Structures are given as C-alpha cells and as structure tokens.
Structure 1
Amino acid sequence: MQSTRRNLPQLFTDARRWFEEGLLASLEAAGATPVSPTQAQLFAVLDDHGTTVSELARRMGVTRQTAHQAVHGLVAAGFLEQVPDPASARQRLIRRTVEGERAHRQAGAILERLEDQLAERISREAVDALRAALETPWGQPPPPNS
C-alpha cells in the first residue's frame, strides 16, 4: 500500500503557494499592477542595492532566461531598473524604482497580514515555532549514502 504522507518539500511548496496566492489576490484586489508568481519571487530575492540577473536566477532556482524575462516584465511595469554595476563594467544591477519600493512595502504589509491570518488558524505558537525552525541554520545537505 502506498503512503499518503507527503514529504516536507511538498509541504513547503504548498505553504509557499498559500502565501503567494494570498499575496497576488490581495495585490489584485488593491488594484495593483498584476505580476506573475515568478516576478513576485524575483522581487523577494532582490537586494536593496541591486542584484545581477545571474544571481537572481541562482537565488530563484531558475534559468538566466527565466530571470531575464521576469526582470524585463518588471522593468516594463516600472517596478525595476537596470543600472551599471560599479564592481564590473560588464554587468548590470537590477534594482527597484521608487514605484517598485512602494510595491515592495505594500507586499510586505500583505505578507504580515497573511502571517497573522495563519496564526489565527493554526495558533501563534505554531507559527512562531515554524519560523524558529526555518530560521535555524541547517548546514549543508548531508552527502549521499554509499
């Protein structure tokens, strides 16, 4: 008989999707410019001072092409800009525009409300324990068993 118990990566994916769907629905209800889940993820991993497309792709776990497409959509929407990287003449940094900063703050406030709603559903103690477990350094993955 096959187990119906789902593994942690599946549960993490569902949890992330819950927050993502809540965020995107709240932004849409507020009349914000629509963004894709990939664009929302890109916003979440972007450094305040700017980040290269290669680094964004690495953080997101996607190809450079996927990260580039997300960047271009957000540049066209007025949320991001590309500027020369002072550390490398060959690279450009992606950073938020003034409108992008406003949208980032709005998204942060929505995510805080979603976390509060989650705490109402599963308890503040459970959310705090979940946060503590996820903030604890896990170290490198163990080597494969021989």
Structure 2
Amino acid sequence: MQSTRHSLPQLLGEARRWFEEGLLAALEAAGAVPVSPTQAQLFAVLDDQGTTVSELARRMGVTRQTAHQAVHGLVATGLLEQVPDSASARQRLIRRTQEGERAHRQAAVILERLEEQLAERIGQKAVDALRAALEVPWGRPPSLSPK
C-alpha cells in the first residue's frame, strides 16, 4: 500500500502556492498589472537597492535565462527598471520603479490579509509556531548518502 503522507518539501510547496494563488487573485481583482508566479517570486527576493539578474536567479532557484525573462516582462510593464551597478561596470541592477514600489506595498498588505485568513482557518497558535519554526536558521543542507 502506498503512503498518502506528503513529504515536508511537498507541504511547503503547497503552502507557498496557497499564498501565491491568493496574492495573484487579489492583485487581479484590484486591477493590478497581471504578473506570473515567477514574476511575483522575483519581486519577493528583490533587494530595495537593486539586485543583479544572477543573484535573483540564485535566490529563486531558477536559471539566469528564466530570471532574465521575468525581469524583462516586469520592465516592459513598468514595474522594474535596470540601472548601472556602481560596484561593477559590467553589471546592471534590477530595481523597482515608483509603480513597482506601489505594487510591492499592495502585495505586502494582501499577504498580511492572507496570513490573517490562515490564522482564522488553522489558529493563530499554529501560524505563530509555523513562523517560529521557519525563522530558525537551518544551516547548510547536510550531505547524506542513501541508505
């Protein structure tokens, strides 16, 4: 008989998708510029002062090409801009435009409301415990050999 128990990575992925779907639906209902899940993730890992495409790709766990495509889509909508990196003549930083900052603040409010909804569904203690567990530094992944 096959186990119906989901792995922790599967559960974390489903939880992330719950927030992502709620965020994108609320943004669409508010008439915001439509963004893809990858573009929304890019916004979440972008530093306020700007971030290189290579660093965005690393943080998102995607290829540079995928990050580059997401950036170009968001630049085309006016939510992001590319500016020279003062630390490197070869690099460009990706940062939010004024409209991108407004959208980022709007998304933060929506995510707070989603967290409140989650607390109503599973209880504030469970949400607090989940947050506390996820905020503890895990360190680097161990090197395990298969049994």
Fold shared by both chains (TM-score > 0.5): yes
| Bin for the TM-score computed over the shorter chain | over 0.9
Q: Which segments of structure 1 move beyond 2 Å, counting only runs of 4 or more?
A: none
Structure 2 distance, partners of 1:74, 1:145, is: 41
Structure 1 distance, partners of 2:71, 2:2, is: 42
Query: How far is the alpha carbon of 1:141 from its aligned partner?
Result: 1.4
The CA deviation string for residues 69-94 of structure 1, in whole angstroms up to 9 with x for no partner, is: 00000000000000000000000000
TM-score by length of 2: 0.98
Q: How does 1:8-87 map to 2 (within 5 A)?
A: 8-87=8-87
Query: How far is the alpha carbon of 1:130 from its aligned partner?
Result: 0.1
Identical aligned residues as a percent: 84
Question: SS at the partner of 2:92?
Answer: strand
Query: How far is the alpha carbon of 1:145 from its aligned partner?
Result: 3.1
Structure 1 distance, partners of 2:145, 2:17, is: 32
How many residue pairs are counted as aligned between the two chains?
146
1:140 aligns with 2:129: no
Structure 1 distance, partners of 2:5, 2:74, is: 38
Quote the residue 2:131 is aligned against: 131
TM-score by length of 1: 0.98
What is the CA RMSD across the aligned residues, in angstroms? 0.8
Structure 1 distance, partners of 2:94, 2:144, is: 37
- Letter matched to residue 100 of structure 2: G
Structure 1 distance, partners of 2:143, 2:73, is: 39
